[in-house]
Amino acid sequence: MGTVGATAIGLGSMLGAGVFVVWGPAAESAGEALVWAVLIAGVVAALNAGSTAQLAAVHPVAGGAYAYGRAELGPWPGFVAGIGFVLGKTASVAAIGLAIGAYVWPDRPAVVATVAIALSWALNSRGVTRTSGASIVIASTVVAVVVAAVLAIAGTDGPASAGFGWSTPWGTAAGVAQAAALVFFAFAGYARIATLGEEVRDPARVIPRAIAVALGTVLVLYVALAAVLPRAMGVDALAASEAPVADAVAGTWLPPVAVTVAAVAGAFGSLLALTAGLGRTAMAMAREADLPRPLARTNGRAVPALAEGTAALVAIVLAWVGDLTLAIAMSSFAVLLYYAVAGASAFRAAGAGRVAGWRMPRPLSAAGVVLCVALMASLPPLAVGAALGVLVLGALARAAAVRR
């Protein structure tokens, strides 16, 4: 595929679910400073995107930071990135399922999540994945609905000012940092472009351009939403809403059902892509003995159905035992860890300027790593503890496998 197809996949991955659900948990942490949280998350995403684009040009192979970490830093950093990706995207699958539930059946989101995740696995196991053409349709629809929602909400007289203040529930910048970490969940889809190294024409040119266009478009849309949603609903109502965009357009010229349809279509398309990418990363890790080797098995359609099914089952369990905020926070923690390894790999990358024609300045790669770690530390302790527990168990299992 070319730049348009790769950009559409990135847009579809970023606009799949987070754009419709992340605002409630983020507003609860950031209060009136929601826009600043989005801007911080955007800066972190941009720094990581620069590092990822450079690495994708130097190493035009599938696998993302798992492959980059192994090539530049060694097997263990690669494992950390890989297990961070698997954990983060499994939590993302749970969060996206719950997001669909929040819009379709708010009283029973876990039931809807179970059906959506199981259907996604069933389709993927038969080789039905989202193509670049489908991504263009989905991304165009979601962008159009989000723009319409911003215009509709901006035309209302809400109970509060726009989200440009600096007053947070904690009274410090800590609330903004936590909100930025949560909002990062909605940015993380641009990593999907980097995993397309073997599927695009001229990856050294196409991947950096696609990441820049997709990330820039999404940042503009997110800043606009962060500005108008608190004004239309008030911070408290926004923090309590699990379907904030649909709630905000109620009473405007844009019917909430349009938002619901776009949210479900975008989220399910993202779910298909996530399940496929998650299964293939788990398969690659299993082949290197970084995960149990049976997960490397494929079915008659060359699909790693066992790996995808295992991840889907774990995501369903998380959807039932946790909630949307916990799933988003766990996903953000693990994905930020993934990007920290990517930033360290870009800092270390040899011959990057020669191969890619440009180089991400090393101080910026280092700044991306530091900011990733800072945002990870700002997340709720329960999510951090749960994610670290899974990572430690994975590391112990790998150590035992290496010893054998």
Between helices 324-348 and 65-72, what is the axis angle to 10°? 40
Q: Mean pLDDT over residues 41-60, rounded? A: 84
Q: Band of the pLDDT at 253, cuts 50, 70, 90? A: very high
Residue 270: CA atoms inside 13 Å, Cβ hemisphere, count? 36
Q: Band of the pLDDT at 38, cuts 50, 70, 90? A: very high
Q: Mean pLDDT over residues 45-66, rounded? A: 78
Better-scored residue on pLDDT, 139 or 166: 139
Each residue of 176-208: pLDDT tens digit?
999 999 999 988 777 667 666 566 787 777 877
Each residue of 263-283: pLDDT tens digit?
998 888 888 878 877 887 888
Question: Most confidently modeled of 56-60, 73-77, 148-152, 166-170?
Answer: 148-152
Is residue 245 pLDDT above 80, yes or no? Answer: yes
Q: Band of the pLDDT at 92, cuts 50, 70, 90? A: very high
pLDDT recorded at residue 350: 57
CA distance 34 to 23: 8
CA distance 20 to 266: 10
pLDDT recorded at residue 355: 47
pLDDT recorded at residue 160: 54
**For a pLDDT cut of 90, what percent of the chain falls above it?**
44
Is residue 370 pLDDT above 70, yes or no? Answer: yes
Dihedral sign, Cα of residue 375, residue 378, residue 380, residue 384:
positive
pLDDT recorded at residue 354: 46
Each residue of 111-123: pLDDT tens digit?
999 999 999 998 8
Is residue 149 pLDDT above 80, yes or no? Answer: yes
Q: Mean pLDDT over residues 233-247, rounded? A: 90
Question: Most confidently modeled of 106-115, 164-173, 226-235?
Answer: 106-115
CA distance 11 to 192: 10
Q: Band of the pLDDT at 341, cuts 50, 70, 90? A: very high
> Angle at Cα 240 formed by Cα 232 and Cα 267, nearest 5°?
85
Q: Band of the pLDDT at 158, cuts 50, 70, 90? A: low
Is residue 338 pLDDT above 80, yes or no? Answer: yes
> Angle at Cα 267 formed by Cα 386 and Cα 103, nearest 5°?
90
Is residue 258 pLDDT above 60, yes or no? Answer: yes
Q: Band of the pLDDT at 128, cuts 50, 70, 90? A: low
